[in-house]
């Protein structure tokens, strides 16, 4: 049976972030993920995880000025020092929070910069991050993101992410496979998951169109959940979607999967 983690950056957003842990536990989740913990002391978040008996399964490396529209800095040649400082910060949080994997957002390609330079920068930064994370016993993830929602995002297809990871050459570096982004860019969800499962360390979901909960759109999630079971996926599935009418009101799909 699939195991589902509530993405607290997308779910329960009607309450402040630190109140979402309690709501997730009350809704039946045993694990959570989120974009970034860095606005709060790590010990404060750890206390909430412990209080509500939640496991943290994922958060991202620092990704630049999110509020200003940045979506990662790993491919930006003029931000290498900032990226490496962010890796160190993320590791400090990871040690306290007990998370086993960190996701790297590549960022948006700046106009007028040679794509070969962006790729070389990304590869070098990923090698650095993977080496630092390996020393801490952590996995590094790279997530392809669709260019409809984030125009210019540098890593946007599964094959591209795998090719970059081949060049990085780190045994602890994997793909984070977001079903919603993959559906928008390439489809072939079941075949891609099966073909590359050994290189996929984390899966996320949302339906399309609208990025709402499973069952709201075109993706046949009951089939995909059963398929993930059949092919042997044993990781968590992060619920990174925008509830159409409130988080709890849209959890029927989850209850049908878990029997809760």
The number of folded domains in the chain is: 1
Of the candidates 19, 30, 134, 240, the residue annotated as catalytic is 240
Q: Is 19 a catalytic residue?
A: no
Range of the domain at 185: 3-258
Which pLDDT score, from 0 to 100, does residue 259 have?
A: 57
DSSP string for residues in 155-207: --SHHHHHHHHHHH--TTEEEEEEHHHHHHHT--HHHHHHHHGGGEEEEEE--
| Domain CATH for 75 | 3.20.20.150
- Over residues 33-66, the pLDDT tens digits come to 999 999 999 999 999 999 999 999 999 999 999 9
Q: pLDDT tens across 208-217, in order? A: 999 999 999 9
Alpha helices by DSSP H, the chain: 20-26, 42-51, 80-97, 115-135, 158-168, 179-185, 189-196, 221-231, 252-258
> Which pair of tokens denotes residue 161?
């992410």
Predicted local confidence at residue 1, as pLDDT: 78
pTM value is: 0.96
CA-to-CA distance for 11 and 17, rounded, in angstroms?
10
Angle at 219 between CA 214 and CA 220, to 5 degrees: 85
Query: Under a CB-based contact definition with an 8 Å cutoff, are residues 175 and 205 in contact?
Result: no
Per-residue confidence at 143, pLDDT binned at 50, 70, 90? very high
Q: Active site residue: 82, 143, 167, 213, which one?
A: 143
Q: Would you tell me how many other CB atoms lie within 10 Å of the CB of residue 66?
A: 14
- Location of structure tokens 């599964």: 158
């Amino acid at each position: 049976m699939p195991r589902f983690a509530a993405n607290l950056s997308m779910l329960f957003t009607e309450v402040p972030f630190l109140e979402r842990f309690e709501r997730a536990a009350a809704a039946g989740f045993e694990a959570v993920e989120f974009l970034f913990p860095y606005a709060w002391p790590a010990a404060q978040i750890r206390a909430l995880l412990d209080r509500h008996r939640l496991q943290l399964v994922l958060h991202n490396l620092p990704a630049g000025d999110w509020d200003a529209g940045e979506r990662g800095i790993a491919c930006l040649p003029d931000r290498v020092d900032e990226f490496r400082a962010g890796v160190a910060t993320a590791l400090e949080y990871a040690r306290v929070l007990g998370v086993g994997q960190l996701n790297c957002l590549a960022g948006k390609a700046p106009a007028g910069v040679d794509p070969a330079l962006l790729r070389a920068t990304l590869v070098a930064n990923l090698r650095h991050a993977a080496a630092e994370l390996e020393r801490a016993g952590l996995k590094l993830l790279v997530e392809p993101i669709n260019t409809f929602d984030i125009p210019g995002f540098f890593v946007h297809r599964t094959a591209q992410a795998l090719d970059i990871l081949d060049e990085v050459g780190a045994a602890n570096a994997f793909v984070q496979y977001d079903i919603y982004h993959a559906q928008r860019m390439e489809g072939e969800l079941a075949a891609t998951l099966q073909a590359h499962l050994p290189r996929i360390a984390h899966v996320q979901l949302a339906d399309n169109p609208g990025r709402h909960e499973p069952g709201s759109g075109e993706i046949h999630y009951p089939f995909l959940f059963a398929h993930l079971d059949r092919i042997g996926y044993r990781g968590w599935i992060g619920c990174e979607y925008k509830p159409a009418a409130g988080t709890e009101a849209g959890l029927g799909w989850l209850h049908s999967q878990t029997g809760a």
